[in-house]
Amino acid sequence: MPPPGGRFAGHNLSNPFAHLSGPMHQGPHMQQQHQPSLQHPGFGGGNATHNLNLFGPSQNSFQSNAGLGGGLGGAGLGAAAGLGSVTGGTGLDGHEARMRFAHGAQLQQEAALGRGHDGTKGMGQRIRDVWRGNLHQELDMLRSLVDQYPYISMDTEFPGVVARPIGEFQSKASYHYQTVRCNVDLLKIIQLGITLFSIQGDVPPSHLDPSQLGYRPKAVQQYASNIIVCPCTWTFNFQFSLNNDMYNEESIQLLKKSGADFEKLATQGIDPEEFGSLLTTSGLILSDDVNWISFHSGYDFAYLIKMLSNKRLPDDEDSYRKIVQVYFPKLLDVKYLWRHATNLLRRGAIGSQATNILNNLGTKSGLQDLADELGCQRVGASHTAGSDAWLTGTVFWELKKKVFDGNLPEDMNGQMWGLTGVGPPASANAQAAVLAAQGAQTMTGYQGMNGMMFHTGQTAHRGDGPSTPTSHPAGLASTPGPTQHGGMMTPGATGAFGEFRYGGK
């Protein structure tokens, strides 16, 4: 049983400049002594207006009668080397130069407010990458925001699916859970993305006044005006080595195409145990006031439970669900909500707007499919945890408003797609037929955790089972029938069990 929930002040903050996070004050300016032998008209003596900010918010700082001389001397750079006289309005004191400086100041301000030159939200400010060096700082920020933004949409990226259980299962749900369990126990999470929303569905603003927060973060990025630069989405990057950790080759290639930096993950990635410890006291979990939102969450919450408990997953699904209920009392799966809506449609118990949306979707049920139909715009690249988390939250709010008229059924809480609701596994007879037809004597099993037998490897089979939520199906949910595949089935080969990569010695 995990410790009682609560939010405690962060400690051992990793920002080495925490003591400088407050407003910066300039000390009294020392009077310069004129030395004629060293004086140059372009770099004159001290001037009362020398503290100009070339990229500051005020464009009036650039006075035509002072030029840049206020910052670098009485005569200014305009008087040196033929750059133009102080009163001539040429060179660095000219109209074109002042316009360029003013444009630079505007771009700097827009970046600070999270806007790009076209008015869109700036990616660098709205989605923030978290590595080992700024982990404490960013969790401190989240700790200060969760009271006002208690809806957390999330997504994970992990190295695919490399294993499936073999044996008798009491139900299809049991089979799917065992598939999740053996893969999560074997593999390591790569990324976790989370986005914060208020109860109205709004993300945090790009700049915050810390006086409006119930808990003031101790070490965050802020300006001298004491305004905090605030993202709305965080991408946590975890330690992962292509040389030492197991993975599915196809999934890794997909993540590389999406921009994953595996060299940096290996050297600067977050320790999952440290993250689990900090998350426990962050106030984001173990609370009935916080709502977690995901899409196809069978694997997502399994990886979180593994980090939080620092243990392998429980043997059975019932025990697993009880642990999830403790850490995440409020949990909603967007894909499960979509399925519930389609059931309402078949019964004619849904409104006209929702009927049109679901009819237009047809059999499509991917995250991007729902986003396109609901008019939700993606920010960032797909198959990155931060972008997928933000899109998941946006789709949730639009689905709630347009399909459920703002009211979600209570019994949707705690349902996780990927553990239930998918096709049943093949029978033991079908499995035996596969082994007999393709040479069971050459097949070597892997003695898994708690005595369970499973086999590892990527697969060419495409089924309807647990998968990386926003990518292609992994196809490991159903055991293939006798005639589905040819070739040998030794793990690591290219038959029904495909191949996998493991770089360790």
Q: DSSP state, 439?
A: T
Burial annotation 175-209 (CB, 10 A radius, 16+ → b, else e): bbbbbbbbbbbbbbbbbbbbbbbeeeeebbebbbe
Residue 191, token pair as written in the block: 């990324």
The residue count of the chain comes to 505
Residues with Cβ < 8 Å from 338, sequence gap 6 or more?
365, 370, 399
Task: Report the distance separating Cα 497 and Cα 61, nearest Å.
Answer: 69
So what's the pLDDT on residue 119? 36
**Rounded to 5 degrees, what angle do the CA atoms 285, 288, 292 make?**
55
The DSSP H or E segment spanning 294 is: strand 291-294
Residue 123, classed as helix, strand or coil, is helix
The CATH architecture one would assign to domain 95-101+122-332 is 2-Layer Sandwich (3.30)
Domain boundaries, the chain: 95-101+122-332
So what's the pLDDT on residue 242? 97
Radius of gyration of the chain (CA): 29
So what's the pLDDT on residue 211? 82
Helices assigned H by DSSP within 43-94: 69-72
So what's the pLDDT on residue 80? 40
Predicted model pTM: 0.66
So what's the pLDDT on residue 9? 54
What phi and psi values does residue 341 have, to the nearest 5 degrees? -65, -40
How many C-beta neighbours within 10 Å does residue 224 have?
A: 10
Burial annotation 295-320 (CB, 10 A radius, 16+ → b, else e): bbbbbbbbbbbbbbbeeebbeebeeb
Type of residue numbered 20: L
So what's the pLDDT on residue 399? 97
pLDDT digit string (tens) for the chain, length 505 residues: 555 555 555 555 455 555 554 454 444 444 444 444 444 444 444 444 444 444 444 444 444 444 444 444 444 444 444 444 444 455 656 666 666 665 555 455 444 444 433 334 445 579 999 999 999 999 999 999 999 999 999 999 999 999 999 888 888 888 999 999 999 999 999 999 999 999 999 999 998 888 888 787 876 656 557 788 899 999 999 999 999 999 999 999 999 999 999 999 999 999 999 999 999 999 999 999 999 999 999 999 999 999 999 999 999 999 999 999 999 999 999 999 999 999 999 999 999 999 999 999 999 999 999 999 999 999 999 999 999 999 999 999 999 999 999 999 999 999 999 885 444 444 455 545 544 554 443 334 444 444 444 444 443 333 333 334 433 333 333 333 333 333 322 233 333 333 344 444 3
User: Closest Cα to residue 419, out of 183, 252, 157?
Assistant: 183
User: Closest Cα to residue 73, out of 97, 94, 49?
Assistant: 49
So what's the pLDDT on residue 90? 58
